[in-house]
Every structure is written in structure tokens, then in C-alpha cells.
Structure 1
């Protein structure tokens, strides 16, 4: 055993002095290190701010070349987006609808912008409601006197709705553009799940039109589902043809006739789809990208250093200029906008989905913020869990009780649970082609005893009552248990229709007539009292500001309430957006490896459907089945 060495008083003094000096040395070094680190970050931030945008000159063409799906809200964080964009990686890109509308409306009044060029090949267009909102913004820009030129190597019919608003549309000679109509087809899994795998899926629902879960119990769509889908889809399609006819000065009936006679028309054009598009007056001419660039260089300011030979500013750079004008210290009263996009699920959820707790928290923040005088809830959701939807609805009711008006702006889709969270607003706006309704409830419980039997596995045991373990999915579902579950679903439907009746000031019987899971277009929903008026997001903002008596638009500010971004993420996104940051990231092996590890991977429809089935059976404490208000009704 070692005996500790005892030091004398002099030795103790010098050891203590050394410890004090050593501590002081480390303290000074740490102060210097963190001071230099802070200085470095400030310098990088200043460089990023100085080098992030170029000045916009007169006679500039704004080139809008969006990449990725059109969304209400980014589903990735700012740092990840900046990293990938700086390295030229466009996979997983998204385009926020609000940004696209902002850019188009700002360009309309910007004297430096001579014309707007639309390149829509890489835009994964969303639903018809958001597309019609963008199309209206392009039409306003054109009406202001700005020239709009659209070009595509190949366009689908959704991209074409935007291109049709342009003064001129050009298509690559080897490209194509066809109108084909709207279709909605799904995979059905009954035979695969039940006959092949031995998985028995038990469906409990209210409403003969509530078809969201049909693929798990049927081999084809029910007659009711086909009837309802064709009804709202026909309305949306006829409006689409009308929008094209108005923009291109064509006859809607002739557009429809061209689709019916498509085989003969393509044959007459000798299989040349691009030439057929010209014959149908859908486009104005056939040009290569280089030819379009030469044409725009002749019309505008030539710039040999620019990509296509003419002076231009990209959508991203123009948006960055607009963002520099935002004042974070603005103390004017606020109209808050909360986005509810994606499936509604319980708890805290990231952007791109709606969390019962996380979205409710944003609404609660708006209620507690004295500077927030009114709120717009922008809904683009097929619904999801009933309880999570109710959490959000309660916060809407609490906002109104606190004296803050609430207006809902429906986007492409506000159905089932998406309608649940909307119904208590002071007013509901939708586009005529919004998909909404689907007021109904269902629950799914798959059981696996037959599947387990195929591999020689069996479940057995005892319980203190005949219902102990009755909800075990490895056992057959007893009829009495099915009765309990159906009672729960029936109660959920009564809650849904009862709350809608109260919110919409109608009788339960009147709501039931237009409910039962039936899906409507926005125009059909307004006829049936489920929607108050037509209009986009800006109309909803103007309405709620007027309700809050905020005065003219320049007397208040509009702010989106979203999850706070970490300080480092803010710094990194700013740095990556600068020219210097982009150069470093493009040549950094570390950064390239990091970007590749963050690439999102899209799931095919089948995987998504089976994932939904899995989430539907996740246990919820205290209830026998998770009640779902969900609609598979997007386009």
C-alpha cells in the first residue's frame, strides 16, 4: 500500500502557486481561442453577407427555373439545403409556394426586370390549387406589361398550366407536351395480404364514401369510391381546360376534342409530338435552348459571361435580394401564418408533416404573443390521427376566444383531418380546385394468426377475463371486440359531424348529407356550405387583417411561425449561400461526403401504403383502435 507523501508548508505554497498559474494560463488560452473563433465566425458572416448576392442591373431578365416539388413548407433544415445547393446537388430540392409568389409579384413592379423567362422542366408541380395560384401571379405579371417567355424540353400538363400564361411558349423540337386528363389509380393489396400472406385486415368505418382504407380490404375500388372520385375530378379537369382556353385564347371544347382524337392527331403529325403541340396551338414554336437564348439576347441586354448570353438573374438570387430587405426588428403588429402541410400525426413532428403537439405549440405561441393580432392557418393536408387533429382544432378555438381572428387558407388538399383542423376558423378560403371534405372516420386492425401459422408459429395463453389480450394482433379478432371498435369509430364520426355542424352553424343532419367520407372540389364544397369563399393565401391575409382592424397593408407585417433555427444552422446556411462558401464546399471532400449522406430517398407508393398500415396499428394507450381521419385523395 502506497503511503501519500506529506509536503512541507513551503512546498505546499509553491504547488498551490503553480496550480493558480496553470489555471490562469488555461483560462487566458481559452479566452483567446474562443475570441478568435468568434472573430472568425463574424468575418465569415460578413464575407457571406457581402458576397451572397450580385447587384441587379437594368434590362435584366428574371429566369425562373424551379427544381423539385412545389411545397408550402420546406421539409429539410436550412443548413442542409444550403450545403447541397452550394455543391450543385439538386436532388431533394423543394420550391416554396410562398417564395415563388413573392418573386413573381415583386418582379411585376421592379423596373430593373425587363422580362421573365420560365423554364419548368424540373418543377415537380403540386396540386391544381397551388398551380392556379402561381398561374394567377404570372398572369398579373404579364398584365403589368412585362414580357413572359416559357421554354421547355418537355412539359407535363401541370407544368403547362403555368407555361400557358406566358406571352410566348417554345418547345424543343425533340420534346413533347400532351394533355391527357386527370387519373387516380392505386394499388390494392387484399389478395396479397390476406390470400398470399395470411394477414387479415379488419376495417371499421363510417361513411360509404370513406375509401382511404379500401386497398387493404378490396381488390379494386368500390363503386362509391369511383363515383365520388370521378365527380370531383371532372369538376377540376373542366376548370383546368377553361384556364388553358382563357390563357391561350382557345376553345375548351376543342382542347377536349384534341385529347379524344389523340391517336389520329399524333399519327397525322407522323409521331412528332412537338409538332402536334404546335398544330394544336398549345405552343408557339419549336426552338432549342440555344436558339431561345439567342432570341432573348437580341431582345434584351446581351451578356457574353451569362449562361445563355443575355443579362439575367436567377430565381434564387432574386429571392435573396428580397430577403435582404426584411427587417427582423420590425415592431409593427403581426399577422401570423402557420403552415399545416402533410400527414397529421401525434407528438412533435418535423416540417413537411403536422404534429399534434408541435403545430399546436406554434398556434399557442401566436396566442401568447402580444404583437400577433391575427392568424392565417394554411392547410395542405390529407388528415391523419383524430386526436392530433383535435389538439390543433382546440388551439384554433383558443385563439378566437383570446380575441384574435383566425382565417383558414386551403391549399391543394384540406380533407378529412385537414378539414377537422380548419372548421373552427372565422372564415375558410379555398381555390375552386382545392380537394376537401372527406368527413369520415375509420380504423384498421390487421391480425396475423394465419400468417404465423404458415411458418408454424401459434399464440396461446390465459387471461383473467375474456377480453384480456383481445387486441393482440397474433390472435383472431373476436366479434365482440369488433363491436367495441365499431362503437368507437361511430362515436368519432358523431364527434366529427357534430363539431362541423357547430362550427358551420348547421344541423348535424345537414352535415351528414355532405359528409360520409365524400370528397369535394373547392367549388363543390362551397355549394354545400363547407367553404365560405374562393381565394388564395393573400386574400386570406387581407381578410384576417381587416378583421383585426390593422389598417392598410403597410401598417402591419406578415410573419410565418415555424420552428426556431439553431444559430449555427443560420450561420452555416448564410455562409453556404455566399460565393466563397459555395466555392469551398464544392472543393471540400468532407463536405461532399456529408452532403451525400444527407440525400433523401423517396419511397414508392406501395412502401408508403404499407407504412401507413403499420402506423395505423401502432398502439395508443387507453383506446382499442387509433381513429383516423385520412384521405388518399391527392392528384
Structure 2
């Protein structure tokens, strides 16, 4: 048979987890997941039929952490002695090529179209502020936060960065830039100083990039594939994710996939999107996933009781959300650990605020250097839309009993007494967050407090401060889980929890635990909530980080 030339097409984008909502899932049906690509490259490294790898770089932006996950996978593939080639039409035509180029430098060769350029112009952290728009719309933002770095509320209460916000953003940009420059320098065998100088000269034309040692060859797609044909002869091209998904090709592979005899297993539990009370659901007809505490806690109890499951990896890609939902998940993580099964938290692009809350009780926290994490803080409040609705002729009236029955009504400002109650709530939750983080991370409360205050860190900085234990991706977390459970990584089964077949979803639930692992139907929460979303106001959930940070 002919050899297999693996193709990694990143121009379509990648996803961490397939979307939960049906329409979004249909639109993303052909997009590979990061885990598929990483697993596929790991499998291909040991497959004698795979002769090489060619990647088309570009397309929708990927997070720095996702790029680092793929860089490590490409390095593992190359370590087997097989070559990897990256090509692109252009690393950005008007900038925006820094992170894609950083990914490309993990390959043996980098090709650029002769008319392309290297828009490796550096790193920027941007924040968006909607206070002016809210003022014009007649929305009154009333939010409290703990502490000064909890900048999610600044989006709605400020018109520009505060001093602490600017300080935090500057360090995020600096840390990301340090990682990218170091990776490019290593991949291209240049000094850090040379890379910084070239970045400051960018954007560069393709020929200038080749002369500077940033690019190996200039050519079009046909030139790249002609060169690969000369190198490998006749091959069969196959996308990495299709290679990963295809069935067994030998008797040995078929026997290896049989469910009997049962293998010891590592369970993977995914926490993606906003963390909410209840069951997992899509965030809307077009939205990404939301993680429900009922679903995750039921999954944690199930794997604790499953004798085949010897260890658990929590894969977290979440900016946080509900305090009580996050606390419920943390409690079950601790109960799972009490059974003696190791729990490894693997952070993806972001695991901050509530996302950090559910990670911190794990035996080991693993993050990429570019992961966004921390944000140990709290926020709460509301946007008063009474005047905004009045401008379009909508009014609401209510009859209430109880002094604070309408405390969180979007029709009324907080009274002084109600604002005092809000402040007390913020203090209580913040103190609880800090105390539990200090206990989970075995740090003095005073030291943890200095790292908290709502501040967001890169994974590299969090690692240096004890908020993260080790740097690496999902595969590294999986290796740790196997090692701590005394398992051979190549002999272990990987199961996803919760897992339900299509037929299981059709039958009626038999218990509350059974009900918890089923997808929650979409709901409409009312006119005020819809207007909040339209104006960009936050969903309910006091453990959230800024959703509008952009690093790139």
C-alpha cells in the first residue's frame, strides 16, 4: 500500500468541545477538536504507514494555549523521525500573523506564498467598554466587585482601563510575548534578540522573511505538494482527524478495541463554557456549551463508584459562572479524591474564576503557558433597563411583599440598604473563595490573597506563583493520571463521562442521577434577560472573568 501523508488543515478552525446546541453542532460538524488532532498525531508517530505531515496554517484565530497544545503534538510527531511541513498563503495580510507563525515554527519547514507576508507584529491585549453605549441606551449599570483586578464589571461601568486593569493587561501581553518569542527563537534557531528585532520590523514581505531566516521556502500550494511527491513518492493524503477516527486496519488493532477483557480506564470529564446550576446545555441556538453542576457532580459520583475507572482528568475550558454551582463541583472533586483515585485538572484556553474554583482541589493542576487562569474574585450586580425600555414604549409594574423582593429587578436601582447587602454578599463569597483556594493549594491565606484580588494570570505566571503545578497539555495530564494510578498509558482505556447513547437519551429517566446527565432544553428567561444579552450585560454568575479580553 502507498504511504499516508497526513494533512492538518487549520484554515477551518478547531474546537475544544463540539457545541451543545443542535444548530451550532451542525455548523461545526466538520471541525476537528484539539484532542482529536493531538491524539491523531500521537498515533501517527508510531505508525509505519504514515510518512509525513503537511499543515495549512491560517484561518480563524486559535488561542495561545491551543497553539501550544498543537506545537507539542507536532514536536512529538517529529521526534519519531518523520518530517512536518507548514505552509500558508500569508501570515496575515494586515497583521495578525504572530500566533499562526508561532505555530508554524514547530515544523521542520515553513513555506509562504511569494506574494504573502509575515505580519508578525507582536502581541496586544484588548478590552472593550460599553459604558458609553449603555448611557445612550438608558441602561444604568450597578455592579460591585472583589477586588480591583476583577475587571469584568469594568466593561459596563468604565469607559477606559483602570490602573489595575492596565497593569494586569500589560503583564498578560508581556508574558504571552515572552512565550511566543522564545518559541520562535528555538524553532528557527535564532536568538531572542534577533526575533524581537524582526518583530519590530514587521510586517515583512515573503522574500525578506526568507532572507531573515524566518521562512525556508517560497511557493504556492502546488509547489509544496510537488516537493512532497518528490520526497515520498505516491502517497494517500488523509486529514489528521479522519486518520484518528477511522476504524481498525489490522486484526491486532481490532482485538485491541474489543471491550473484553475490560481495561483499566481513565475518565475524562469536560467542563466547558459558563458554569451554571442544573444540567449541561447549549448557551443558545447558536451558542457554545454551558456546564451544569448537576451533570458534572453526577459524573464525578459515577466515576467514583466505577471500579474500572482508576483516575480522572478534568478538562476545563471555562471563564466561570455560578458560585454555588462551582462550589458543588469542587465538593464532589474532593469526595472523588477521598476514594484514592487521582484527579488531574487539565486547563485549556481558559480556566479562570469559577473555572479555577473547580480546578483548585485537584491533585495536580496542569496548564499551558498561554492558558488564561486565576481571576480569584467575585462580582455581582445588575443593569437597570427601566429607562431603556421606556424609550421604546415598554413599561412594567409589580406588586410585591418583602422589603427586598425586587432587589434584583432590572426596573429599579438598589436602595442604600440593598447595596449594603450586596457588598456583604461580595465580601462573604470572596473570603470563602480565597480560604478554599488557600486550603486546596496549601498556601497561607495572606499569600493566596496577594495572588487573588480578581487578577488574571497566564499559565506561566500562575505556575511560578503556585496556582498551577505543571505546564503542559491534555496529553501531559493524561500521562500524569496514568502514572499516579500505576497504569501504562498505552494499555489504558480512555472513557468520557457523562456518556449517553442516542437510545439512552430517548428513554425516560429512571432517577435524578439519570436525569442529571441529560442535556437541558433551551429556555427563554424573559424580556429583561433577552435585553441584557442584547446589550452585552453579563449572565447571572458571580464567579466570572472578563469575557472580552483578546490576546493576539
Q: TM-score range by the shorter chain?
A: 0.7 to 0.9
Unaligned runs of 5+ in 2: 92-96, 283-288, 507-530
8 Å Cα contact 1:407-1:426 kept in structure 2? yes
Q: After TM superposition, give the deviation of residue 461 of structure 1 in Å.
A: 7.2
Q: Is the 8 A contact 1:390 1:420 kept in 2?
A: yes
**Distance in 1 separating the partners of 2:257 and 2:202:** 54
* CA–CA distance in structure 2, aligned partners of residues 491 and 372 of structure 1: 37
Q: Distance in 2 between matches of 1:284 and 1:199?
A: 55
Conservation of the 8 A alpha-carbon contact between 2:36 and 2:241: no
**What is the CA distance between 1:99 and its match in structure 2?**
1.0
Rate the CA distance shift 1:448–1:554 in 2: closer, same or farther, 3 A. Answer: closer
Contact 1:67 1:94 survives alignment (8 Å):
no
Check conservation: 2:533, 2:539, Cα contact below 8 A: no
The Cα of 1:399 is off from its aligned counterpart by: 0.5
Query: Shift of the alpha carbon at 1:455?
Result: 5.7
Q: Distance in 2 between matches of 1:171 and 1:608?
A: 45
Q: Which region of structure 1 is more displaced relative to structure 2, 319-328 or 379-388?
A: 319-328
Question: 1:451 Cα deviation (Å)?
Answer: 3.2
Q: Could you say which residue in structure 2 is the equivalent of 1:4? A: none
Report 1:612-623 matches (<5 A). Answer: 613=537, 615-616=539-540
Task: Please say if 1:71 is aligned against 2:15.
Answer: yes
For residues 537-569 of structure 1, the C-alpha deviation after alignment (integer angstroms, 9 at most, x for no partner) is 22222222232233x334432222243230599
Specify whether residues 447 and 350 from structure 1 end up closer, same or farther in structure 2 by C-alpha distance, changes over 3 A only: closer
The secondary structure found in structure 1 opposite 2:89 is strand
State the distance in 2 between where 1:188 and 1:197 align: 14
1:202 corresponds to = 142
Give the C-alpha shift of residue 443 in structure 1.
Answer: 0.6
Change in CA separation of 1:368 and 1:174 when aligned onto 2, cut-off 3 Å: same
Shift of 1:127: 1.9
1:460, CA displacement in angstroms? 6.8
Distance 1:610 1:320 in 2: 39
1:216 corresponds to which residue? Answer: 156
Matched, 1:327 2:263: no
| 1:244 to partner: Cα distance | 0.9
Take 2:318 and 2:371, find their aligned partners in 1: how far apart are those partners?
Answer: 11
Determine the structure 2 residue equivalent to 1:564: 500
Distance change in 2, residues 1:218/1:174 (3 Å): same
Aligned with 2:330 (options 383, 389, 393): 393
- In structure 2, the CA distance between the partners of 1:491 and 1:300, relative to structure 1 (3 Å rule), is same
Q: CA deviation at 1:79?
A: 12
Displacement of 1:630: 2.9
Structure-2 change in CA distance of 1:469 and 1:567 (3 Å): closer
Aligned equivalent of 2:446, options 509, 525, 530: 509
Q: In structure 1, what is the Cα distance between the partners aligned to 2:81 and 2:369?
A: 27
Which residue number in structure 2 is paired with residue 494 of structure 1?
431
> After superposition, where does 1:374-385 map in structure 2 within 5 Å?
374-385=311-322
Does 2:51 align with 1:114?
yes
Give the 3 Å change call, closer, same or farther, for CA 328–363 of structure 1 in structure 2: farther
Q: Distance in 1 between matches of 2:307 and 2:32?
A: 32
Structural RMSD (CA): 2.8
- SS of 1:379 mapped into structure 2: strand
- How high is the TM-score relative to the length of structure 2? 0.85
Structure with a larger share of its residues in helix: 1
Cα distance, 1:456 vs structure 2: 7.0
Q: Deviations over 1:310-338 (max 9, x none)?
A: 54233243123367746251511111111
Offset of residue 400 of structure 1? 1.0
> Is the contact between residue 121 and residue 159 of structure 1 (CA under 8 Å) also seen in structure 2?
yes
1:317 is matched with 242
Partner residue of 1:245 out of 166, 180, 185:
185
Q: Structure 1 residues 567 and 160, CA, compared in 2 at 3 Å: closer, same or farther?
A: farther
Deviates further, 339-348 or 66-75? 66-75
Distance 2:193 2:127 in 1: 29
Q: What CA distance in whole angstroms lies between the structure 1 residues aligned with 2:157 and 2:15?
A: 32
Aligned CA distance change for structure 1 residues 545 and 319 (closer, same or farther; 3 Å): closer
Structure 2 partner of 1:589: none
Name the residue aligned to 2:544.
Answer: 629
CA distance 1:173–1:555, change in 2 (3 Å)? closer
1:145 aligns with 2:98: no
Q: Structure 1, residues 596-616: CA drift from partner, whole Å, max 9, x if none? A: xxxxxxxxxxx9975762623
Task: Give 1:580's aligned residue.
Answer: none
Task: Tell me the residue number matched to 2:216.
Answer: 284
Q: How many angstroms apart in 2 are the aligned matches of 1:398 and 1:345?
A: 20
Over 3 Å counting, the alpha-carbon distance change for 1:415 and 1:472 in structure 2 is closer
Cα distance in 1 for partners of 2:450, 2:28 equals 45
Moved more, 405-414 or 538-547: 538-547
Q: Determine if contact 2:127/2:550 at 8 Å carries over to the other structure.
A: no
C-alpha distance in 2, partners of 1:77/1:67?
23
Q: Distance in 2 between matches of 1:291 and 1:465?
A: 75
Q: Look at both structures and tell me which one has the larger radius of gyration over its CA atoms.
A: 1
Distance in 2 separating the partners of 1:557 and 1:529: 31
Distance 2:410 2:275 in 1: 24
> SS at 1:174's partner residue?
coil
Distance 1:609 1:511, change over 3 A: farther
Q: Distance in 1 between matches of 2:18 and 2:397?
A: 48
The CA distance in 1 between the partners of 2:480 and 2:216, in whole Å, is: 39
Question: Contact 2:125–2:170 (CA<8 Å) still a contact in 1?
Answer: no
Q: Which moved more, 1:68-77 or 1:103-112?
A: 68-77
State the alpha-carbon separation in 2 of the partners of residues 317 and 187 from structure 1.
39
Moved more, 321-330 or 433-442: 321-330
2:104 equivalent to 1:163 = yes
Distance in 1, matches of 2:327 and 2:383, equals: 25
Question: Counterparts of 1:524 and 1:60 in 2: how far apart (Å)?
Answer: 40
Q: Find the counterpart in structure 2 of residue 128 from structure 1.
A: 64
Q: Indicate if the aligned counterparts of 2:146 and 2:430 stay in contact, CA closer than 8 A.
A: yes
| Rounded Cα–Cα distance in structure 1 between residues aligned with 2:491 and 2:108 | 35
Quote how far apart the aligned CAs of 1:280 are: 2.9
1:229 aligns with 2:229: no
Number of residues of Structure 1 aligned to a counterpart in Structure 2: 509
1:517-528 equivalences under 5 Å are 517-528=454-465
Per the alignment, residue 230 of structure 2 pairs with 298
- Residues 462 and 74 of structure 1: CA distance in aligned 2, closer, same or farther (over 3 Å): closer
Written as runs of structure 1 = structure 2, the 5 A alignment for 1:470-619 is 470-550=407-487, 552-567=488-503, 610=534, 613=537, 615-616=539-540
| C-alpha deviation, 1:242, in angstroms | 0.6
Answering whether residue 5 of structure 2 is matched by residue 61 of structure 1, we say: yes
Aligned-residue offset at 1:416: 0.7
Q: Structure 2 vs 1, CA of residues 395 and 287 (structure 1 numbering), >3 Å: closer, same or farther?
A: same
Distance 1:205-1:317 versus aligned 2 partners, 3 A rule: closer
